Structure 1
Amino acid sequence: MRIRPAPAAPRTRPARVLPRGLCRGVAAVMTVLLLAPVPGCERPLVPPGAPTPWPAELAWRWQWQWQLTGPLDVTVEADVFLLDPVRTTSAETAALRDRDRRLVCQVRVGTYAPTDPDADRFPAELRGSPVTGRPDHRWLDVRRWNTLKPVLADRFRLCRGKGFGAVAIDDADGYLHRPGFPLDFDDQLLFNRRLATLARQLDLSPGLLGDVPQVAALAPDFDFAVNQECVRRRECAKLLPFADARKPVFHVEYTGDPAEFCVTTVGYGFASMRKDRALDAWRDPCPLP
Structure 2
Amino acid sequence: MSPSWISRPRDIGDKSDVNVNSSPVSRSCLSRKSKRFWMLLCAGILLLIVAIGLAVGLGVGLTEGSGGGGTSPSPPLPSNNNTNATSGDFWRPTAGSSWQIVLQNPPTDTSLNVSVYDIDLFDNNASTISAFHTQNKRVICYFSAGSYEPNRPDSSQFTKPDFGKGLDGWPGELWLDTNSTNVRSIMSARLSLAASKGCDGVDPDNIDGYDNDSGLDLTESTAVDYLTFLAIEAHGYNMSIGLKNAGAIVNATVDFLQWEVNEQCVQYQECDLFRPFVAAGKPVFHIEYPSDAPAVPLSTKNSLCDAPSAQGFSTVIKEMSLNDWVEEC
- Listed as ranges, the matches of 1:90-109 within 5 Å are 90-109=126-145
**Helix, strand or coil: the match of 2:234?**
helix
Shift of 1:53: 7.2
Q: Is the 8 A contact 1:265 1:272 kept in 2?
A: no
Residue 168 and residue 88 in structure 1: after superposition, are their counterparts in 2 closer, same or farther (change >3 A)? same
Q: Is the 8 A contact 2:101 2:117 kept in 1?
A: yes
Residue 286 of structure 2 aligns with an amino acid whose one-letter code is H
| Alignment-derived partner of residue 232 in structure 1 | 267
Q: Is the 8 A contact 1:126 1:141 kept in 2?
A: yes
Name whichever of 70-79 and 128-137 sits farther off.
70-79
Rounded to whole Å, the distance in 1 between the matches of 2:248 and 2:237 is 27
Residue 241 of structure 1 aligns with an amino acid whose one-letter code is P
Q: Is the 8 A contact 1:129 1:138 kept in 2?
A: yes
Residue 200 and residue 70 in structure 1: after superposition, are their counterparts in 2 closer, same or farther (change >3 A)? closer
Rounded to whole Å, the distance in 2 between the matches of 1:201 and 1:238 is 29
Shift of 1:70: 4.0
| Alignment-derived partner of residue 192 in structure 1 | 227
Shift of 1:267: 5.8
Q: Over aligned residue pairs, what C-alpha RMSD do you find? A: 1.8
Name whichever of 236-245 and 84-93 sits farther off.
84-93
| Alignment-derived partner of residue 77 in structure 1 | 113
Q: Is the 8 A contact 1:266 1:272 kept in 2?
A: no
Rounded to whole Å, the distance in 1 between the matches of 2:274 and 2:183 is 28
Unpaired runs of 5+ in structure 2?
Answer: 1-88, 291-295
| Alignment-derived partner of residue 259 in structure 1 | 302
Whether 1:65 aligns to 2:108 is no
Rounded to whole Å, the distance in 2 between the matches of 1:169 and 1:177 is 17
| Alignment-derived partner of residue 321 in structure 2 | 278
Rounded to whole Å, the distance in 1 between the matches of 2:92 and 2:182 is 35
Rounded to whole Å, the distance in 2 between the matches of 1:168 and 1:282 is 20
- Listed as ranges, the matches of 1:140-289 within 5 Å are 140-144=176-180, 146-255=181-290, 257-264=300-307, 268-286=311-329
Shift of 1:274: 0.6
TM-score (norm. length: structure 2):
0.67
Q: Is the 8 A contact 1:131 1:139 kept in 2?
A: yes
Larger radius of gyration: 2
Shift of 1:55: 5.3
Rounded to whole Å, the distance in 1 between the matches of 2:97 and 2:220 is 32
Shift of 1:148: 2.1
**Helix, strand or coil: the match of 1:250?**
strand
Rounded to whole Å, the distance in 2 between the matches of 1:188 and 1:71 is 29
Residue 215 of structure 1 aligns with an amino acid whose one-letter code is V
Q: Is the 8 A contact 1:252 1:272 kept in 2?
A: yes
Residue 271 and residue 264 in structure 1: after superposition, are their counterparts in 2 closer, same or farther (change >3 A)? same
Rounded to whole Å, the distance in 1 between the matches of 2:219 and 2:228 is 15
Rounded to whole Å, the distance in 1 between the matches of 2:233 and 2:183 is 12
Shift of 1:133: 0.7
Once the two structures are aligned, what percentage of the paired residues are identical? 28
Rounded to whole Å, the distance in 2 between the matches of 1:91 and 1:207 is 23
Shift of 1:196: 1.5
Residue 265 and residue 273 in structure 1: after superposition, are their counterparts in 2 closer, same or farther (change >3 A)? farther
Q: Is the 8 A contact 1:74 1:92 kept in 2?
A: no
Count, aligned residues: 232
| Alignment-derived partner of residue 119 in structure 1 | 155
Q: Is the 8 A contact 1:53 1:102 kept in 2?
A: no
| Alignment-derived partner of residue 87 in structure 1 | 123
